[in-house]
Structure 1
Amino acid sequence: MNSRYLGAASALAIVLSLGAAGAASAQTSTATVRGVVTDGGTAEAGASIVATDVNTGFVSRATANANGNYALPNLRPGTYRLNVSTADGDTYEQTVVLQVGQQAYLPLEVGATVSAGDPSATDVEDLIVVGNRNAIEVRTSEIATNVSALQISTLPQSNRNFLNFAALAPGIRLNPDEFRRDFSSGGNAGGGLSSNQVNVFIDGVSLKSNVNQGGLIGQDASRGNPFSQLAVQEFRVSTSNFKAEYEQAGTAIITAITRSGTNEFTGEVFGFYQNEDFTKRNYFQRLRGQETPALERQQYGASLGGPIIQDRLHFFLAYEVNDQVRNNDVVAGGGDRTTLPARVNVASYEGSFASPFRQDIYFGKLTFRANDASTLELQVSYRDEDDVRGFGGQTSFERAENVINEVLSVKGQWDFQSDLFFNELSVDYRESSFRPSILNPDLVGENFNGIIQIGGRSTSQEVREEILTVRNNVTIEPFELGGSHLIKFGGKVSFADFTVFNGQNTNPTFTYNLTPSQNLDYSFPSQAVYGVGAPTVTAENTQIGLFIQDDWEVNDHLTLNLGIRWDYETNAKNDKFVTSPAAAAALQFAEDTIRAQGGTHFEADRYISTGNNRDGFKNAFGPRVGFSYDVFADQQTVVFGGAGRFYDRTLFRNAAEESLFRQFANRTFLFSRDGLPRNGQATILWNESYRSRAGLDGLIASGVAPNSELRVIPNDLEPPYTDQFSIGLRQKFGDWNTSVSIIRQIGKNEIAYYPINRNVALNAQGRMVAFTVPGFGTIVAAENNRETRFTGLYVTAEKPYTSQSGWGVTFSYTGSDAETNRNEFNFDFPLASERPFVPNGADVEHQIVASGIVDLPWQLQLSGFLTLSSGNPFGVNDFSRIDEGPEFFQNFRQGNFGQPERYSFIIPNAFAYRSLDLRLTKTIAVPGGDLQLIGEVFNVFDYDNFNGYDGFIPETGTNLNFGNPNSVIGTPRTFQVGMRYSF
């Protein structure tokens, strides 16, 4: 560990703990119970409330104030026995179940009688509907969905990624890409780069990726899982108006807690299996007459928890493996092979090749209750995966990559309670490394266009994050001032080291074309692309966050949630970078050229860094205001709403690329048989000695290489944020909890790139023309002017599963209108600000997600997961309107993701995406525990869910493929079998 971490962390921990100030987890890993103690309607001042965790024996205490109000904050989610003793000796006992992130309002009437159910029952199924034992969270302005341990363990899913169940929350979109298991929300939902403005907390530890895309560390390009599902107890999905204690998220938060040991030894062993015989062919495989690719997937693991010292010290351990081998078929294209070099035996590259993947996830936790006022906890998790992939189709196995993904997290926490406050101090260390490497680095790449790609892959990368975070959180005992206030405040400091190695094209690729009209064939390459220089950037960054939150119960009807958060980073923009004199001259030349044409949109000084003119952004204040109004003061009908600003962060990779493009350059060499120009561009007379790194190095040394791209970011780059507004209604109907809400999100300051060196005016055909900058090729600049707009209608209904009723159902509907005014890379307009708003990847007009669990005879249980949606919009490039001239190009250019006029292809039924998954479980009592036999089927009705629609409309003629898909998302009908033994 970096020595600067240790000294700074120690000093900060001492200051924070002595000052009882701090930050961090609060509701990110706990729950709160508030209420009033009464006897015959009279407030019981001084009543003592003792909450005992029935599984661990841990005890928390509270005392009712003069108005009878009490609060038990920072309780670990679980089942609690509440014992109330009044000043005159009356007693009362009640059992309650709390969920993560919940702020439950629970009035305690000493004279009340708890009816029904077994008083000794301790599991959620037995307690959730027993009398008034279930804690209800309705008095909150937050829009959130809790996913229980029962749902995680019971609902069907193929890959044991607990985040899959986040789709139960309205507004959440899961990425169906096998190699990118992430999620997104609101106006930033969809695929591609839009998953960044989310965050996941595991026991208060942020999994946010500070460098890479994908939102979470390790999820940018992985078919693995971010955390052990065995170790996850439950989680909560917050999609609007989440509180100020949550950091670095503009659209959605997931807060999960891990399992802990209890006073009983408990454990689980599981295994799931699947191969190609369990999977049908998809639409395109059937169309091409392909066989189902070979597949074998084994998922297995075990957990064990229990007491070391009864009621005091407990442990929990978990281990999971995802071991799979998928075969990819390499099939050469049908191009003319007659001019291929004799050394290229195409048949030797064809066939079916294994793509193995293995992930191992480890988790361990110790929890020590030193006394009723103090708890210590230590936990460690480690994720390790290897993935050989990147081949198939016309790409040979030689060009595969091995993606190594490692994440280590260590956390220590001390909770202390006094008569005046509850203090939570934690220190966590996280180290992650994402390393796609070249499987055959000694072979140069060769691409015979239309036939086969052979040789080594072109690019290797490594993204490393090393972060030490100190957090402290204080919750003040509730006090009366115009109602009951529960105040939390705190802060965090993170010390981060970032490393970005982007060895793009460090292994050169030679491309061969068969174009007789240009005197090109497969006997020599038409071009080579080669990256040279120092492709590594490192930086140190300190992140500071402060918040204060007041949950104010004004009266029996009105609750206000008021808060503000402030975040700051010392080096979010690679602040010590110095623009070279040559680059500064090029930028000034571009500004002068643009101004001579009448343009004023580019100022070179904004992009010229001196190493001390990039001040950190100090205005990231995020106020949050929310309310809930309990109409009849009975927690049955509640109106709620809120507004707030939510800052995320600019990924460090965006800043690192500015240095990378200066330290490291991609060179493109054009070759010919005669050394004459081709298409107006100079070429190099081909020589066989050039077919190597050494040969290309020699050409660079001799000065025969094109200029490289200049990538720049503005000195005043600001982090992205969303402004959120919501209004809604919650209503209980017996056992059913329902809600309707309307969401509005406006996202700003999102990063976008556009080329600077292009003329202000379009040419006569309405096309852009670039001008030449001395010493460089294209100048690509970043801006903070990309925006998103999202309006959503969220409808939810839930009847929780109980063992008494034997069934449970959840339902969510999302109506969406989402648009953006540009892509991340905007190369289609002279000015980035001119791009119109069009539908983006989140613009799925309708989405329904439902789940159900039902008990059947003979110890059988059936569960299901249904997803229906309108499908994603797709980009349409309509060049049939080119005769409209420059005006057309100003308003509709290539690169739109989405379209001004929605092209809706419902194929062929009411929903473009449809999938129903089912699981049947048979439970058998065996010595020491239960054995479950599990059968699952995914996409039961084998729906063809299409993707990759062709959106090109040519200038003349007809594109016969317009509107047709070229791929599918999700899986065809697939079966999986498994077993689970628990005790």
Structure 2
Amino acid sequence: MRRQDIVQRLGRLLLFAGVLAVLGGRGLVAQTTTGTIRGYVKDQNGAPLSGAQVQATNVATSVARSTTTGSDGSYVLPGLSPGTYDVIARHIGNSPARRRIVVQIGATLLADFALPAGAVTLAPVVVQAANPAETRTSEVATNVTPLQIQQLPTPSRNFLDLAVLAPGVTVTEDRIGGVSRTFTAGGQPSTSVNIFVDGSSLKNDLTAGGVTGQDASKGNPFPRGAIQEYRVISQNFKAEYQKASSAVITATTRSGSNTWTGSVLYGYQNKSFVALDSFQRATPKFSKPAYSRSLLSASVGGPIQHNRLFFFGAYEGNYQNRSNLVDFGAIPAGYPALTAVNFPQYNGNFGSPFRETMLFGKVTYAASSTSSAEVSFSNRHETDVRDFGKVNCPGFVCAFTEAVNYRQNVSIGQVRYNMFKGPWLNETKVDYSRFRRNPSPNTPGLPAQIYQWNNQDHVIGSNFSTQDFIQRRVGIRNDLTYTGFRAHGEHVIKVGASFDFVTYDVFKGNDETPRFYYRDTVTTRGLYGYATPYQLIYGTGNAKLKKNNNEFGWYAQDDWSPSPQLTINLGIRWDFESNMFNASYVTPQMVIDTLTRYNDSLPTPLDLSQFISTGSNRKPFYGAFQPRLGFSYALDPESRTTIFGGWGLYYDRSIFDISVDETLKLTHPTYTVSFADPDSTAKPGETTWNNSYFTADKTTLDALAHTSGKPEAWLIGKNVKVPRSRQWNLGVRRVMGGGDYTLTATLSAVRGENQLTLNWANFGLKPDGSCCVSFDLGPHGFSNFIYSANNAKTWYDALQVQVDRPYRRSANNIGWGGGISLTYATRSLQGVDGLGDVFAFPNALNIPHHPANDEKTHIVANWVMDVPYASGFLFSGLITLGSGFLQDVGCPLRFCGAGYERGGFTPERVGFIIPNAFAYRNVDLRLAKDFPNISGTTMRVTLDLFNAFNYQNLGCFDTGSKTNLSFGHASCVVSDPRRLQVGAEYTF
């Protein structure tokens, strides 16, 4: 039997097993959104107590869960919603004991009980302190607590900001003029991450960014006021997590309790609160552009029916009024055509508003002592008018008419039903999500004009493209946990399956705004003098595509404790998608004919059996089996010192946008039309200019493009691979200071592979490695043949050290908590020039293993503390330090020859406590004052100071050549200058 047949049959077997898990499971709550308490109940002499009852009662809702101990005295309470619990252990003939324990999302906490001989029933309980630290996990994970979410300074209330508390995780800088917020980890691109909210995946199948709504958006993926807490798992996450080969964030939302509570928050910042950076100060007569930002948040939650039915709702708003300066500067003299354009009419400050509104609602029902249900809905809507002036402009400067209106909408609805009885725990979840990404010209209907001088583009007219991506997902998930199996120790066995039925609706009208290019002289073409365009770029045709994709995942895992000090985590996961790469695509006959006829003439001849798709020969990938192994071993009975480690294989997915272009590059091609100079006769391949061509009318332009331009053909291989990573880690965790401090040191390694790249078949390198030899496809009806490969790889090796102290008040009612993390890492890649690149010119095989442009040392510190002798004052902060990003000197050898040095430049380093250690420094501070409690309500005022010391973190370095006088000089800053933000919050 062929290996492929074996794999497919095994896949079908797992699919059948998954169906049984969904349809026949007796119930579970996934660890993706909950926590676990486990431990042993013994008598005063250390003998195990079999049949003891252990009950955990949620302090906020009075909802209780209970279990009984096994013959060895062990117990497990999985699937607990994060929160504070009173845990009571009882056994006939012994006095009961109680602990108050804070359960965190994704965490497994140890709570052992020693019950002295005594009363048979309701004697007074013995209160014992619980170890607050999670010591026995094999995951490389960091929990972001409710206190940190509420109190640490973050500029725009984006809950992603605090993911930086996890070692090895990088979050895009939050800037006033920023356009994107993503996070990365493990030396892999942002497409490799995932976020789970209440167990629902926010994976973006369609476009980049990894998470729905984060592709080219500065918005918040979820309302921060609705997030209770979250966990960042940067490595060795268990088999229940899917669609990520890098880090995952799993978050749980807030719920109502037995007391009605709520809050209203407002934060404000304007241009008067923002300092100037060094480049702005050096600009004569620089005037701050208009800017203001209002952050609003409101939430309310409480009982609809006491102890049974609860409601929680939240609203979040981020409303920014920015403006960008448009200044075309000095216009070259002596060109009447340029004078006639009247560029000064486009100069000035123009508004760039950003609007984001988010809503969340949730109803929780404690149906009985053994079941619960939950219904929730969230919506995120945003618009962003941007990409003009010199901010993210596709040129040197763009007129306001070139702005894009970036619209996004993300809606998620979810129904969960949980059942728990004895050792069984089950959760069934059904969810629906809709994600829409819709950038379009803010001023439509104008031809775009690009005037080129001083090697720079100056753009007027409409934005180039209109896109409308819609991803709809209906998901069903069931997880089943069983804690009653004991064989050579205690087992927590968990299996689960998920089905997602996904629809992709795509409209990708790239380049539908005609772009006319002007310049004085075009080499080998003639003298134009800006009077007529020398080139037109224009896209037309059918820009629509609709496809379905069915996604299935199945997993099984066993947390096995052969002894109280050793836990082994065994897991296996399998994922399958029916249409990740547009399996029904049929290569057009004109592409087949040209490829067949001229394949041997191409610098990179292709295996035609791989790249000609018949609509049935591009099979789905059945081999996404992902074994995962972890362990933790406590060196002492109290688990104060623990050694842990893990290894695993993790499959991600390729974004569907690449497969979209395989179709649309031919049904909606972009044409390039070359115009003859006004004083010459058109040569072969050129068209004589006519003023009637300067229009946005599709009829005229379609006729012109089809007679002159050539489309581009994309070819996705039939055996295209799915990106994946191999991860392993080994670490030690130590609880110190009577349980106040936790020190963790981890050696981590990640190897990413099979990352998809796009290559040119009609270009190749010369024998000496320089660029390029080519085959002109123009006479044969095409501009390029672009083919796929899976040659991109990444390497990540790191030492990660973390010290944490949870916030805790002392006897004098003064409390503090904090932490610090250090990452020392090396990152490298192969097959692409930069992390996250898809295109590899001319092909990935010509780009060798080389250092990634990233920094080696990164430190993040945080703290929250009561101010001594100042009642009601709370002081918190976040410090970020980095050694600076390595940067290449020159350009790649294949383009520029000698003088190229990978990672050959490091920015100048300055001091922060340690002399000459850091090229990046940032200190964010917050001071909050709570006014006296009046009738159960509290008023708070806050002052946030971001980049408090106004550090100038330089960027845009000249790294072209070490012989340049300006080599190493910066021309921008990579973080905003000092900013003040004021706020107020009312809670009840």
Q: Same fold (TM over 0.5)?
A: yes
Q: Quote the residue 1:5 is aligned against.
A: none
- Where does residue 790 of structure 1 map in the other structure? 796
Matched, 1:840 2:852: yes
- Judged with a 3 Å threshold, the aligned counterparts in structure 2 of structure 1 residues 343 and 111 are, in CA distance, closer, same or farther, namely farther
Q: Could you say which residue in structure 2 is the equivalent of 1:224?
A: 219
Q: How does 1:335-346 map to 2 (within 5 A)?
A: 335-336=331-332, 338-340=335-337, 344-346=341-343
SS in 1 for 2:591: helix
Distance 1:828 1:637, change over 3 A: closer
Residue of 765, 777, 788 corresponding to 2:783: 777
Q: 2:951 aligns with which of 943, 959, 965?
A: 943
Q: How far apart, in 2, do the equivalents of 1:745 and 1:355 lie?
A: 40
3-state SS of paired residue (2:659) = helix
Aligned ranges 1:96-111 → 2 under 5 Å: 96-111=101-116
- How far apart in 1 are the matches of 2:49 and 2:23? 34
Structure 1: which amino acid aligns with 2:612?
I
Does residue 162 in structure 1 map to residue 173 in structure 2? no
What residue in structure 2 maps to residue 197 of structure 1? 192
Are positions 1:174 and 2:137 aligned together? Answer: no
Q: Distance between the aligned counterparts of 1:587 and 1:379, measured in 2?
A: 53
Please list the CA deviations of residues 88-110 of structure 1 after superposition, one character each: whole Å capped at 9, or x if unmatched. Answer: 36322221111000011211112
Amino acid at match of 2:821: S
The within-5 A match list for 1:674-753 is: 674=678, 676=680, 682-694=685-697, 697=700, 700=703, 703-734=706-737, 735-753=740-758
2:135 aligned counterpart, secondary structure: coil
Q: Is the 8 A contact 1:675 1:685 kept in 2?
A: no
Distance change in 2, residues 1:157/1:831 (3 Å): closer
Aligned counterparts of 1:827 and 1:152: Cα–Cα separation in 2: 38
Check 1:195–1:698 CA distance in 2 against 1; reply closer, same or farther (3 A cut). Answer: closer
Q: Output the CA distance in 1 between the equivalents of 2:898 and 2:863.
A: 45
Any conservation in 1 of the 2:770–2:897 contact (CA below 8 Å)?
A: no
Cα shift at 1:764: 6.9
| Contact in 2 for aligned 1:305/1:314 (Cα 8 Å) | yes
Residue equivalent to 1:141: 138
Q: Return the letter of the residue paired with 1:329.
A: L
1:252-290 CA distance string (max 9 Å, x none): 011110100000011010000000000011222222232
**1:195/1:213 contact within 8 Å kept:** yes
Q: Verify the 8 A CA contact 1:399 1:453 in the aligned structure 2.
A: yes
Is 1:871 paired with 2:870? no
d(CA) in 2 for partners of 1:967, 1:815: 26
- Quote the Cα distance in structure 1 between the aligned partners of 2:180 and 2:842: 33
Distance 2:452 2:922 in 1: 37
CA distance in 1, matches of 2:722, 2:769: 38
The match for 2:578 is: 570
Deviations 1:132-186 (A, max 9, x none): 2244321121110001000010011110001100000000001126211110001
Contact 1:106 1:136 (C-alpha < 8 Å) held by counterparts? no
Identity between Structure 1 and Structure 2 (%): 35
Q: 1:21 to 1:505 in 2, by over 3 A?
A: farther
Kindly provide the amino acid, as one letter, of the partner of residue 949 in structure 1.
F
SS at match of 1:196: helix
Q: CA 1:443/1:900 → structure 2, altered by over 3 Å: closer, same or farther?
A: closer
Farther-moved stretch of structure 1 (310-319 vs 325-334): 325-334
Contact 2:883 2:909 (8 Å CA) reproduced:
no
Equivalent residue for 1:586?
Answer: 594
Q: Structure 1 residues 829 and 258, CA, compared in 2 at 3 Å: closer, same or farther?
A: closer
CA contact (8 A) 1:46 1:87 kept: no
In the alignment, what sits opposite 1:915?
A: 922
* SS class of match (2:358): strand
Distance 1:711 1:964 in 2: 40
Change (3 A) 1:72 1:230: same
Deviations 1:56-108 (A, max 9, x none): 11111101111111110100011111122213363222211110000112111
Between 824-833 and 864-873, the greater mean CA deviation after superposition: 824-833
1:33 aligns with 2:37: yes
Q: Which residue of 2 aligns with 1:757?
A: 762
Taking the TM superposition and a 5 Å limit, the aligned residue runs for 1:266-305 are 266-289=261-284, 290-305=286-301
Q: Distance in 1 between matches of 2:567 and 2:590?
A: 60
* Matched residue, 1:460: 466
> Structure 2: which amino acid aligns with 1:626?
G
Inter-partner Cα distance in structure 2 for 1:42 and 1:400 = 73
Is residue 145–residue 168 contact of structure 1 (8 Å, CA) maintained in 2?
A: yes
Q: Distance in 2 between matches of 1:800 and 1:17?
A: 39
Q: 1:456 to 1:567 in 2, by over 3 A?
A: same
Measure, in 2, the Cα distance between the counterparts of 1:87 and 1:862: 49
Give the distance between the partners of 1:496 and 1:651, measured in 2 at CA: 13
Aligned to 1:365: 362
Aligned to 2:72, the other structure's residue is in SS state coil
Distance 2:195 2:898 in 1: 37
Q: CA deviation at 1:863?
A: 0.5
Amino acid across the alignment from 2:564: D
Deviation at 1:459, TM superposition (A): 0.8
Q: One-letter code of the match for 2:615?
A: G
* Mean Cα deviation higher: 392-401 or 963-972: 963-972
**Counterparts of 1:946 and 1:94, CA distance in 2:** 51
Counterpart for residue 191 of structure 1: none
Q: 1:677 to 1:497 in 2, by over 3 A?
A: farther
1:546–1:519 distance in 2 versus 1, CA, 3 Å: same
Give the residue type in structure 2 aligned to 1:628. S
User: Alignment partner for residue 375 of structure 2, among 362, 378, 400?
Assistant: 378
SS at match of 2:281: helix
Aligned counterpart, 2:99: 94
C-alpha distance after superposition, 1:742-773 (max 9, x if no partner)? 001000000111101125x6167933111123
Matched pairs, number: 933
- How far 1:516 moved relative to its partner? 8.3
Aligned to 1:3: none
Distance 1:788 1:625, change over 3 A: same
Distance 1:920 1:423 in 2: 44
5+ residue gaps in structure 1?
1-10, 114-118, 121-126, 189-193, 880-887
Partner of 2:871: 858
Residue 248 of structure 1 deviates from its aligned partner by 0.5
Q: TM-score, normalised by structure 2?
A: 0.91
1:532 aligns with 2:547: no
Structure 1 residues 569 and 826: CA distance shift in structure 2, 3 A: closer
Contact residue 180 and residue 215 of structure 2 kept, 8 A: yes
Candidates 601, 611, 618, aligned match of 2:622:
618
Q: Give the structure 1 partner of residue 435 of structure 2.
A: 432
Alignment partners' CA distance in 1, 2:839 and 2:561: 52
Q: Distance in 2 between matches of 1:826 and 1:767?
A: 19
- CA 633–770 in structure 1, closer or farther in 2 if over 3 Å, else same: same
Task: Give 3-state SS (helix, strand or coil) of 2:345's partner.
Answer: helix
Conserved? CA contact 1:21–1:472, under 8 Å? no
Change (3 A) 1:112 1:388: farther
Q: Secondary structure at the match of 1:233?
A: strand
Matches within 5 A, 1:482-631: 482-515=488-521, 518-594=526-602, 602-631=606-635
Check whether the contact 1:106–1:135 (CA below 8 A) recurs between aligned residues: no
- Given that 2:18 and 2:496 are in contact with CA atoms closer than 8 Å, whether structure 1 keeps it comes out as no
RMSD over equivalenced CA pairs, Å: 2.5
The alignment partner of 1:480 has SS state of coil
**Deviation (angstroms), 1:708:** 1.5
CA distance 1:936–1:544, change in 2 (3 Å): same
Aligned partners of 1:695 and 1:33: how far apart in 2? 65
Cα distance, 1:43–1:813 mapped onto 2, change above 3 Å = same
**Which residue identity does 2:907 align to in structure 1?**
F
Structure 2 Cα separation of the partners of residues 516 and 428 of structure 1: 57
Query: Is the Cα–Cα contact under 8 Å of residues 806 and 817 in structure 2 kept in the other structure?
Result: yes
Q: Normalising by structure 1, what TM-score?
A: 0.91
Identify the range of structure 1 (362-371 vs 910-919) with the bigger mean alpha-carbon deviation: 910-919
Contact 2:528–2:678, Cα closer than 8 Å, also in 1: no
In 2 relative to 1, CA 100–345 (structure 1 residues): closer, same or farther, beyond 3 Å?
Answer: same
1:284-341 deviations in Å (ceiling 9; x for gaps) = 2222232222111001121000000110000001011111111100001323154236
* Cα shift at 1:825: 5.5
Task: Note closer, same or farther for the CA distance 1:270–1:720 as it changes in structure 2 (3 Å cut).
Answer: same
Give the conservation status (yes or no) of the 8 Å contact 1:140–1:561: no
